[in-house]
């Protein structure tokens, strides 16, 4: 059975919500009452539950199997987190309530902030950014504010070729010119090239560490020292912090700002594309420039430092990034996860994530080309498409994995490797699941090397065959429209 759209099965006068009856008298709407129909079909509750339940079953999800998406970190989402996030004391409070009436909520934010600062070895944290990319922006804006505060208008941000696309996008959005840093043939940023390029026009160097090739940037401390010497700041993309949490503190490596994707390291659910949460930790040098609002603990309780009180305590803040205080619902989940693991468990998280990735690297490097595979990798294993038969591609391997019951790995990223396949198992996969996955990849890769043309048609057993993305983009259909009578009659 195909699942229809709500617009095809619902109707404007059906509702799945009952309201108290009785006349509603009086109107102070002025002359702007809505008169025309809106076109919002309703469904009763049985129909609604069935529609969305059926839709959900067309999705792959972590609850169904391994999600080997390198650089996306799809790990198990503990159900305790969902339970505590729904406590009315967190879920049912208004962001503008008097602070005396939300001391528990402010306390929670403060407690999570304290963990993040200590885990990263940094000086402070801005909690409000709504997602990782928003956090990047926050970090870059703090850097720019710090430079401007000393009257130093630098224009360039250096970004490695292997960086996430958000890095250059963020720097550009903040008004910077972006220049690429080349990689060494080992898959790391080239320290010498950075040293050469550094100068009075460079505001910041953005480094991802561990990087998107799954490698730790060995020269990180040396880079930081060079950057600081040149009067610039080090931004670290913390997307891969999960590989080192509890074992390495970015603060010890000279980082000035780093965002943390709570869903990657601290298990908040991905939700099919968000909501995320991207707190940013800062070094002492950048702390004065961090955004509003933030929570401060004083003798009489927790205070919320907003615009009104900023002059006094935080005169250099670069301002506000969001309407309220950030992703409270994600904070609750992340704290629940962090407390559950503790300092010891988080260290184990990093170790198991890295061990799982290396296990995959070594279990597949005989059939797949591992361009930087001499030494150990961190939390993800990177392969290229060398050896795949002519006419077949990374895409075909990925789609064929769907038929084996798995979500494909990350493809064609990072850009520095041809036909890249980036595999990140995370720490929440068992050895048995890894072995099953490895077996599936081996079998598909062997078919790809043998030139099995059938791979080009994969997936065969998914809810849909390959979808025509070109048609979608060429003539975008973004909303449902009543079919024209002629078409309907066909």
Partner 1 sequence: MRYLPLTNDDRQAMLAKVGASTIDDLFVDVPEIARLNGTIPDLPMHASEMAVERHLSKLAARNLTAGDGPFFLGCGAYKHHVPASVDHIIQRGEFLTAYTPYQPEIAQGTLQMLFEFQTQVARLFGTEVANASMYDGSTACWEAVVMAGRVTRRKRAILSSGLHPHYVSVANTMAKFTGDTLVTGTPALTAEPDTDALIEQIDDDTSCLVVQYPDILGRIGDMTKLAEAAHAKKALLIAVVTEPVALGAIKSPGEMGADIVVGEGQSLGVGLQFGGPYVGLFGCSQKLVRQMPGRLAGETVDAEGKRGYVLTLSTREQHIRREKATSNICTNSGLCALAFSIHMTLLGEAGLRRMAALSHAMACRTADALTNIPGVELVNDHFFNEFTVKLPGEARPVVRALADKGILAGVSLGRLYPAEGALANGLVVAASEMTTQEDITALAQGLKEVLA
| 399 contacts partner 1 (rule: CB under 8 A) | yes
Cα separation, 458 vs 399, whole angstroms: 5
What six digits make up the tokens of 56?
């959900």
Stretch 46-75 residues interacting with partner 1 (CB under 8 A): 46-49, 51-53, 55-64, 67, 69, 72, 74
Among 34, 79, 374, 464, binds its own copies (CB under 8 A): 79
200 vs 342, which CB is nearer to partner 1? Answer: 342
Stretch 1-20 residues interacting with its own copies (CB under 8 A): 1, 9, 18
For the chain, the first-to-last Cα distance in angstroms comes to 21
| 427 contacts partner 1 (rule: CB under 8 A) | yes
Site string for partner 1, 136-165 (x = CB under 8 A): xx---x--x-------------------xx
Among 208, 332, 393, 394, binds partner 1 (CB under 8 A): 332
Stretch 316-375 residues interacting with its own copies (CB under 8 A): 340
Residue 68's SS3 state is: coil
Among 5, 12, 15, 49, binds its own copies (CB under 8 A): 49
Give the nearest distance from C-beta 449 to partner 1 in angstroms: 23
| 299 contacts partner 1 (rule: CB under 8 A) | no
Helices 328-364, 431-449: inter-axial angle, 10-degree rounding: 60
In this structure, what are the phi and psi dihedrals at residue 85, rounded to the nearest 5 degrees? -65, -20
| 463 contacts partner 1 (rule: CB under 8 A) | yes
Find which of its own copies, partner 1, none residue 65 binds, CB within 5 to 8 Å per kind.
its own copies
| 459 contacts partner 1 (rule: CB under 8 A) | yes
Give the nearest distance from C-beta 47 to its own copies in angstroms: 6
What six digits make up the tokens of 135?
């956090």
141 vs 423, which CB is nearer to partner 1? Answer: 141
Give the nearest distance from C-beta 300 to partner 1 in angstroms: 14
Stretch 152-211 residues interacting with its own copies (CB under 8 A): none
Find which of partner 1, its own copies, none residue 204 binds, CB within 5 to 8 Å per kind.
none
In degrees to the nearest 10, what's the CA dihedral of 379, 286, 138, 311?
150
Strands 294-298, 280-282: pairing is unpaired
Burial class (CB in 10 A: 0-12, 13-18, 19+), 97: exposed
Quick one: which segment of 92-100, 197-205, 386-394, 416-424 binds partner 1 (CB under 8 A)? 92-100
Q: Which uninterrupted H or E stretch holds 305?
A: strand 301-305
Give the nearest distance from C-beta 84 to its own copies in angstroms: 14
Stretch 252-291 residues interacting with partner 1 (CB under 8 A): 252-253, 267, 269-277, 291
Contact 426, 74 (CB under 8 A): yes
Strands 177-181, 156-160: pairing is parallel
The single-letter DSSP state of residue 320 is B
Cα separation, 354 vs 244, whole angstroms: 9
Cα separation, 138 vs 131, whole angstroms: 10
Find which of partner 1, its own copies, none residue 324 binds, CB within 5 to 8 Å per kind.
partner 1
Cα separation, 246 vs 342, whole angstroms: 9
Find which of partner 1, its own copies, none residue 405 binds, CB within 5 to 8 Å per kind.
its own copies
How far is CA 145 from its chain centroid? 25
In this structure, what are the phi and psi dihedrals at residue 156, rounded to the nearest 5 degrees? -120, 140
| 90 contacts partner 1 (rule: CB under 8 A) | yes
Stretch 401-460 residues interacting with its own copies (CB under 8 A): 405, 428-430, 432-433, 436
Give the nearest distance from C-beta 62 to its own copies in angstroms: 8
Cα separation, 204 vs 306, whole angstroms: 28
Among 325, 334, 416, 444, binds partner 1 (CB under 8 A): 325
Give the nearest distance from C-beta 428 to its own copies in angstroms: 4
Stretch 224-283 residues interacting with its own copies (CB under 8 A): none
Residue 239's SS3 state is: helix
| 359 contacts partner 1 (rule: CB under 8 A) | yes
165 vs 439, which CB is nearer to its own copies? Answer: 439
Match 């885990």 to its residue by tokens: 119
| 82 contacts partner 1 (rule: CB under 8 A) | yes
What six digits make up the tokens of 120?
């990263």
Find which of its own copies, partner 1, none residue 1 binds, CB within 5 to 8 Å per kind.
its own copies
Largest CA distance in the chain: 77
Cα separation, 409 vs 434, whole angstroms: 13
Query: Cβ neighbours of residue 380 under 8 Å, at least 6 residues apart?
Result: 70, 71, 214, 240, 243, 357, 422, 423, 424
| 57 contacts its own copies (rule: CB under 8 A) | yes
| 63 contacts its own copies (rule: CB under 8 A) | yes
Among 264, 303, 369, 407, binds partner 1 (CB under 8 A): 407
Find which of its own copies, partner 1, none residue 414 binds, CB within 5 to 8 Å per kind.
none
273: nearest Cα among 70, 74, 54: 74
| 392 contacts partner 1 (rule: CB under 8 A) | no
Task: Name the region of 136 (left: φ>0; alpha: ψ -120 to 50; beta: rest).
Answer: alpha
448: nearest Cα among 421, 416, 483, 486: 421
- Which residues are near its own copies by CB under 8 A? 1, 9, 18, 44-47, 49-50, 53-54, 57, 62-65, 75-76, 78-79, 340, 405, 428-430, 432-433, 436
């Amino acid at each position: 059975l195909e699942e229809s759209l709500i617009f095809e099965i619902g109707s404007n006068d059906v509702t799945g919500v009952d309201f108290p009856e009785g006349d509603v008298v009086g109107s102070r709407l002025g002359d702007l009452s809505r008169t025309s129909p809106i076109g919002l079909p309703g469904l009763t509750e049985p129909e609604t539950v069935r529609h969305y339940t059926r839709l959900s079953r067309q999705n792959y999800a972590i609850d169904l199997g391994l999600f080997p998406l390198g650089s996306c970190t799809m790990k198990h989402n503990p159900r305790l987190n969902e339970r505590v996030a729904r406590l009315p004391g967190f879920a049912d409070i208004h962001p503008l309530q008097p602070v005396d009436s939300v001391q528990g909520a402010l306390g929670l934010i403060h407690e999570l902030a304290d963990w993040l600062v200590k885990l990263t070895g940094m000086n402070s944290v801005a909690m409000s950014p709504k997602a990782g990319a928003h956090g990047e922006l926050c970090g870059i804006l703090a850097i720019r504010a710090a430079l401007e505060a000393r009257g130093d208008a630098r224009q360039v941000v250096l970004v490695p070729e292997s960086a996430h696309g958000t890095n250059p996008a963020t720097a550009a959005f903040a008004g910077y010119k972006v220049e690429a840093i080349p990689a060494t043939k080992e898959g790391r940023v080239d320290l010498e090239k950075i040293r050469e390029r550094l100068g009075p026009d460079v505001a910041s160097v953005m480094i991802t560490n561990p990087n998107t090739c799954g490698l730790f940037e060995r020269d990180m401390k040396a880079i930081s020292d060079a950057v600081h010497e040149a009067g610039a700041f080090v931004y670290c993309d913390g997307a891969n912090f999960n590989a080192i949490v509890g074992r390495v503190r970015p603060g010890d490596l000279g980082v000035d700002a780093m965002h943390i994707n709570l869903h990657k390291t601290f298990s908040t659910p991905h939700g099919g594309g968000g909501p995320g949460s991207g707190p940013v930790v800062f070094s002492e040098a950048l702390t004065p420039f961090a955004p509003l609002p933030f929570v401060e603990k004083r003798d009489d309780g927790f205070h919320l430092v907003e615009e009104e009180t900023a002059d006094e305590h935080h005169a250099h803040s670069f301002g506000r990034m969001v309407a309220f205080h950030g992703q409270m619902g994600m904070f609750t989940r992340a704290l629940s996860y962090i407390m559950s693991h503790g300092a010891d468990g988080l260290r184990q998280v990093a170790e198991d994530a890295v061990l799982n990735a290396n296990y995959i690297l070594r279990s597949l490097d005989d059939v797949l080309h591992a361009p930087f595979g001499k030494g150990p990798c961190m939390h993800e294993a990177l392969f290229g498409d060398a050896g795949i038969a002519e006419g077949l591609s990374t895409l075909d391997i990925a789609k064929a994995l769907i038929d084996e019951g798995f979500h494909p790995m990350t493809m064609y990223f990072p850009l520095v490797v041809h036909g890249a396949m980036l595999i990140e198992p995370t720490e929440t996969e068992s050895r048995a699941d890894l072995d099953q996955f490895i077996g599936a990849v081996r079998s598909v890769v062997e078919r790809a090397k043998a030139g099995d043309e059938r791979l080009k048609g994969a997936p065969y057993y998914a809810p849909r065959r390959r979808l025509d993305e070109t048609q979608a983009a060429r003539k975008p259909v973004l909303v449902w429209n009543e079919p024209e009578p002629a078409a309907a009659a066909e």
